[in-house]
Amino acid sequence: MILIADCGSTKIDWCLLNGKEKVAQIFTTGMNALMLTQEEMTERIHNELMPHLAGYTVDEIFYYGAGIINDEIKGHVVNALKSNLPSVQRIEVDSDLLAAARALCQRKPGVACILGTGSNSCYYDGERVVDNVSPLGYILGDEGSGAVLGKRLVGDVLKKQLPEYLCEEFLKTYDLDRTKIITAVYRQPAANRFLAQFGPFLSKHIDEPGIHDLVLSSFTDFFVRNVASYKNYQNLPCNFVGSVAHVFERVLREAAEPLGITIGTIIKNPMEGLVKYHSC
């Protein structure tokens, strides 16, 4: 049997396959391998995943995750999995970016992008990621991401760049004021997740010109500063995975058109695409 893991910082989506048949789908607490020790990951897998695998024999594991940035971190994840599943014959650990590329492009070349809390992109040659513009995080980059959209929204609200009724509705909806926002962004952890939570407000008011322009310009920045760096990008489909791409598909396509970029597949999460990739 094959076990696939799509691991984010918030949750892990595990899927157990027997050939092409989906045997089980399991959700556990997320793990960022950059932030956790090998021992912490081992314990979390033992406590949250292993009870669901009782009675199953896992032969191969394909683990795609947040924070997989070098071979040392890959090794920690491999060891954490081996400690709990010592009889597994093959363990492959790689980034969430490769997961997006495989889920979106399968075995064909293309540009694969992630638009969720953060953003990322790559050129995929049908087998591997061969070029990647560093996303740089929501302070220096992450154009088009939920965190950056939220950052721009909050800035526009506090600087009164949006209609007064919208500013008042935003602050009332989330029970916020200037002090609470400054504290959450500058003094508390996970400011990116705090900022990304405002996606539903943007979606609700997407036809308001100020909101529409905010989202459109951020997506345009994503294309210009990331996608346009890839060789032959205008002749390849540009594919997306992530909640932001899924919710704002119409505006995403609007941003792509004048740049000569062809939007291909847009999916909310990569698991179904990964199941297809690994069951072929």
Which single residue is written with the structure tokens 């526009």?
A: 156
Name the band, by pLDDT with cuts 50, 70 and 90, for residue 185. very high
Looking at residue 280, its pLDDT comes to 76
* 10, pLDDT greater than 80: no
Q: Greatest CA span in the chain, whole angstroms? A: 62
Pairing mode of beta strands 2-7, 11-18: antiparallel
Looking at residue 276, its pLDDT comes to 93
Whole-number mean pLDDT of the chain?
Answer: 94
Looking at residue 8, its pLDDT comes to 81
Residue 135 CB coordination number (10 Å): 20
Which single residue is written with the structure tokens 């191969």?
A: 60
- What stretch of H or E contains 3? strand 2-7
Give the Cα separation of 196 and 216 in Å (integer).
Answer: 16
Name the band, by pLDDT with cuts 50, 70 and 90, for residue 115. very high
Q: Check if the beta carbon of residue 105 is closer than 8 Å to that of residue 112.
A: yes
What distances in angstroms separate CA 228 from CA 48, 140, 239, one per listed residue? 41, 18, 14
**Beta pairing partners, 4:** 15, 62
Looking at residue 279, its pLDDT comes to 87
Q: Is the dihedral angle over the CA atoms 235, 108, 269, 265 positive or is it negative?
A: positive
Name the band, by pLDDT with cuts 50, 70 and 90, for residue 137. confident
3-state secondary structure of 219: helix
Give the Cα separation of 2 and 64 in Å (integer).
Answer: 14
**Token pair for 150:** 């939220």
| DSSP, res 46 | I
Give the domains, in start order, of the chain with CATH numbers: 2-88 (3.30.420.40), 97-280 (3.30.420.40)
- pTM (whole model) above 0.85: yes
Q: Check if the beta carbon of residue 122 is closer than 8 Å to that of residue 101.
A: yes
Region 238-264 average pLDDT = 96
3-state secondary structure of 177: coil
Q: Is the dihedral angle over the CA atoms 196, 208, 260, 271 positive or is it negative?
A: positive
Region 28-36 average pLDDT = 85
Task: Give residue-wise pLDDT tens across range 43-54.
Answer: 999 999 999 999
Give the Cα separation of 62 and 74 in Å (integer).
Answer: 12
Give the Cα separation of 27 and 49 in Å (integer).
Answer: 8
Task: Give residue-wise pLDDT tens across range 195-242.
Answer: 999 999 999 999 999 999 999 999 999 999 999 999 889 999 999 999
